[in-house]
Amino acid sequence: MLDGYGRTIDYMRISVTDRCDLRCKYCMPKEGIQKVDKSRILGYEEILRICSAAIELGIDKFKITGGEPLVRYDLMELLRGMRKLQGCKEITMTTNGQLLAPHLEELTEIGIDGINISLDTLKPERYKEMTRLGDLQKTLEAVELSIEHGIKTKLNCIVQRDFNEDDVIELVDFALSKGIDIRFIELMPIGIADAEKGISNRETMRRIKEVYPEMKADESRHGNGPARYYRISGKRGSIGFISAINDSFCESCNRIRLTSMGYIKPCLCYEDGVFIRPYLEKGDKELKQALEEIIRFKPAAHCFENIKEVDHHAMAEIGG
């Protein structure tokens, strides 16, 4: 459906949990976040009903995220349920990759349409430092296996000053050697993230162009997101830039978010939203009407430049 600014909303990011097996420094404090009581987390039946209502409104593409979606018990059951929903065109997932490998067989069978794997460095020690708990090897194995299974695999990378700027070229070469896309995401001032540490994508692009001056805009469609893609001739895979801070893409925003607690957020940036559970209890008609209302009032643009207005929940709670 169209929102109040005439944008087509056809994509929903669903956070299935606020829990995570890692503690990435820009996303979660060392001690983790205050866990939401399980009774407040939406059950799979509830998520499926919300998806059905969303599909009726023209939202037919879904991304499963978290926290870490794969820490949620029996996530495959939810994905199977979603796959059966009439009108559901696309299901993708974003994961840190630590627990992914054992699920790839089943994900292939379910017919997942794509997996984005977060990877900010290829240096084991640095990966451990950044994620506090992660084992780089596990994520690399998952990347390899995901590609082997024929799943559309992409890497997501955040570049931070004085931390992993020197990883950029290595990561680009790694992704392109495997024939997959890599996307650089600008660090947003959400939750505990210190946006001062984030590096603009303009700078990252400059760094890549120093090594690959022949990099050219790639106009082909790569997904549902706001990334602008570039190609290096002779290489498979593209390099995407998601530049929420320095190159706002709000005028073409196509999404809403559902948190694990059933909070629908029409924009990542603001805390504003609606708890959907009461409408689930009322009935399907009321549920659809509530979603419609939320979409109609989706804000025109984010406000990351005005930090006081930005949602202070951790990215893992909101669902990145």
Kindly state whether residue 193 participates in binding ligand SAM, applying the rule CB under 6 A.
yes
175 binds ligand SF4 (CB under 6 A): no
Residue 28's binding partner, choosing from ligand SAM, ligand SF4, none, with beta-carbon cut-off 5 to 8 A by kind?
ligand SF4
State yes or no: residue 168 binds ligand SAM (CB under 6 A).
Answer: no
β-pairing, 228-231 vs 216-218, is antiparallel
Q: How many CB atoms lie within 10 A of CB 230?
A: 17
Of the residues 121, 146, 156, 164, which one makes contact with ligand SAM according to CB under 6 A: 156
Instruction: Tokens 């929940």: give the residue.
Output: 313
Question: Out of ligand SF4, ligand SAM, none, which partner does residue 156 contact, by CB within 5 to 8 A per kind?
Answer: ligand SAM
In angstroms, the CA 83 to CA 81 distance is: 5
CA distances to 174, 184, 208, 209 from 214, in Å = 18, 19, 10, 7
Candidate list 12, 27, 104, 253; residue touching ligand SAM; CB under 6 A:
27
Tokens of 81: 């349920």
In 48-80, which positions are buried (b, 16+ CB within 10 angstroms) versus exposed (e)? Answer: bbbbbbbbbbebbbbbbbbbbbbbbeebeebbe
Q: Which is nearer to ligand SAM, 95 or 259 (CB)?
A: 95
Q: Is 42 in the site for ligand SAM (CB under 6 A)?
A: no
Shortest reach from residue 239's CB to ligand SAM, in Å? 16
- The answer to whether residue 187 forms part of the interface with ligand SAM (CB under 6 A) is yes
Please give the Cα distance from 73 to 83 (Å, whole number): 18
Cβ–Cβ < 8 Å for 54, 221: no
Residue 158, binding choice from ligand SF4, ligand SAM, none, Cβ under 5 to 8 Å by partner class: ligand SAM
Can you give the C-alpha Rg of the chain in angstroms? 19
14 is a site residue for ligand SF4 (CB under 6 A): no
Q: Which does 64 bind (CB under 5 to 8 A by kind): ligand SF4, ligand SAM, none?
A: none
Residue whose token pair is 């596990």? 138
Residues in contact with ligand SF4, shown as a per-residue x/- string from 87 to 126 under the rule CB under 6 A = ---------x---------------------x--------
Cα dihedral 13→263→2→219 (10° resolution): -20
Residue 245, helix vs strand vs coil:
coil
Binding of ligand SF4 at residue 191 (CB under 6 A)? no
Q: Which residue has the tokens 């984010």?
A: 302
Q: Which is nearer to ligand SF4, 127 or 229 (CB)?
A: 127
Q: Least distance in Å: CB of 23 to ligand SF4? A: 6
- Which of positions 64-93 make contact with ligand SAM (CB under 6 A)? 65-66, 68
The DSSP output letter for 224 is S
Residue 104 found at the interface with ligand SAM (CB under 6 A): no
Among all chains, which residue has been given the structure tokens 């946006």?
195
Applying CB under 6 A, among 9, 12, 14, 24 the residue interacting with ligand SF4 is: 24
- How distant, in Å, are the alpha carbons of 79, 106, 220 from that of 109? 11, 5, 27
Residue 118 binding ligand SAM, by CB under 6 A: yes
Q: CB-wise, 96 or 164, nearer to ligand SF4?
A: 96
- Measured at the CA of 60, the angle between CA 59 and CA 65, to 5 degrees, comes to 90
Binding site residues, ligand SAM, CB under 6 A: 20, 26-27, 65-66, 68, 94-96, 118, 156, 158, 185, 187-188, 190, 193, 315-316, 320
Binding site residues, ligand SF4, CB under 6 A: 20, 22-24, 27-28, 66-68, 96, 118, 315-316
